Amino acid sequence: MEEVISKNATNYKELLRNYMESQDEQALYGVEKVSKAFIKNNILPEEIVNLHIQAMAEVCNDLTEDYKNSMNFLLEAMIFYGLAMQEIPLLREEKHILQSEISVAASMQKTLLGTNKPEINGMDIGVISVPAHQMNGDYHHFVKGKDGSLGIAIADVIGKGIPAALCMSMIKYSMDSYPEESMSPKSILKNLNRVVERNVDPSMFITMCYAHYQPQESKLSFSSAGHEPGYYYNAETDTFKEFETRGLVLGVSPDTEYKEYEMTINKDDMVILLTDGVTECRDGDRFIESQEVLDIIKKYSDLPAQEMVENVYKHFERLQDFQLRDDFTLMVLRKNS
């Protein structure tokens, strides 16, 4: 190391001499390489200024006192830059530690909040949920009842990252404690609202859509707590319709009641549930219109539901230059018999 420094110091002196004589571009290219070597060896700016002072004293013999004083002044001004530079490796290491801690948390979250896509007779289900960063603030959950019915939850916590993810665990465990099969979407939301209202910071809230599907009657009932509206695709008329659900977000007002909606689903109809990470995609500075989402869904609607959501995701991932701004969750339920 010392050798590297003294070799480069000699080099610096020679290059400086050349440059003083001829203002040669080659000397400048040379000093660029020397400076890279200095950085690689963690040579601090004040040491370089000092090296320059010494080199100048050898190269020129008619240096003025003014010049020498000014260089000492410059050296003094470099001390804090040197201190700041020495922090870089430390900060880099800290960042690395944090990153690995978060990735452990993220995989733990996956295990904790994991849900299996159930097999439901006559229903093709596709779902994709991708976090913008490592931790996901979106959540979805399937429960298959003993009577063959299916409970579906899709939720989004305000914000993203770790606070959102922590909050989601709370939702998941409250839901686990309910006898879900016996509860209607509106009473599940009513209960969750109370849990959230009591347990989170006033600026925190959660949006959720809860749906319950009964295959025997092809009946879907659902309630929304301020969640991004989903869509119903009517195969017969080949049209999409936005769900006109009303309902306050979870966690704002303790005694909120939720409305429940009901509909019958026919063969090849689709129910599309999503989070605002889908509808608020941006293409550069432009926000996409909801029609664009539907067009893309339509484009891939010949595929099985899982391939469909994956292709829609890929489309918007590309549109946003592979940098998601928000967590992205998309779910498609298609009745296939």
* Residue numbers at the binding site for other proteins (CB under 8 A): 46-47, 50, 53, 72, 75-76, 79-80, 83-84, 86-87, 90-91, 94, 156, 158-160, 201-205, 207, 225-229, 246-249, 252-253, 276, 280, 287, 326
- Of 150, 94, 161, 99, nearest to 125 by C-alpha is 150
Q: What Cα–Cα distance (Å) separates residue 284 from each residue in 61, 236, 279, 280, 294?
A: 59, 36, 15, 12, 20
Cα–Cα dist 248/64, whole Å: 77
290-299 helix and 305-319 helix, angle to the nearest 10 degrees: 130
Q: Work out the number of other CB atoms within 10 angstroms of the CB of residue 21.
A: 10
Looking at residue 133, what DSSP letter applies? S
Looking at residue 135, what DSSP letter applies? S
Cα–Cα dist 237/219, whole Å: 19
Q: How far is the CB of 23 from other proteins (least distance, A)?
A: 28
Among residues 27 and 153, whose Cβ is nearest to other proteins? Answer: 153
Q: How far is the CB of 49 from other proteins (least distance, A)?
A: 8
Among residues 10 and 86, whose Cβ is nearest to other proteins? Answer: 86
The radius of gyration computed from the CA coordinates of the chain, to the nearest angstrom, equals 31
Among residues 83 and 108, whose Cβ is nearest to other proteins? Answer: 83
Among residues 58 and 217, whose Cβ is nearest to other proteins? Answer: 58
User: CA 105: distance to chain centroid?
Assistant: 14
Among residues 119 and 255, whose Cβ is nearest to other proteins? Answer: 255
Q: How far is the CB of 214 from other proteins (least distance, A)?
A: 26
In the sheet where 328-335 sits, what is the strand order? 123-130, 328-335, 270-274, 231-234, 239-242
Q: How far is the CB of 251 from other proteins (least distance, A)?
A: 8
> Residue 246, SS3?
coil
Q: Work out the number of other CB atoms within 10 angstroms of the CB of residue 281.
A: 21
Q: How far is the CB of 120 from other proteins (least distance, A)?
A: 28
Q: How far is the CB of 246 from other proteins (least distance, A)?
A: 6
Q: How far is the CB of 159 from other proteins (least distance, A)?
A: 6
Burial class (CB in 10 A: 0-12, 13-18, 19+), 59: middle
Among residues 1 and 90, whose Cβ is nearest to other proteins? Answer: 90
In the block, tokens 């998941």 appear at: 172
Among residues 227 and 335, whose Cβ is nearest to other proteins? Answer: 227
Cα–Cα dist 242/47, whole Å: 67
Q: How far is the CB of 147 from other proteins (least distance, A)?
A: 31
Q: How far is the CB of 145 from other proteins (least distance, A)?
A: 28
Among residues 126 and 230, whose Cβ is nearest to other proteins? Answer: 230
Cα–Cα dist 237/258, whole Å: 30
Cα–Cα dist 94/71, whole Å: 35
Among residues 52 and 144, whose Cβ is nearest to other proteins? Answer: 52
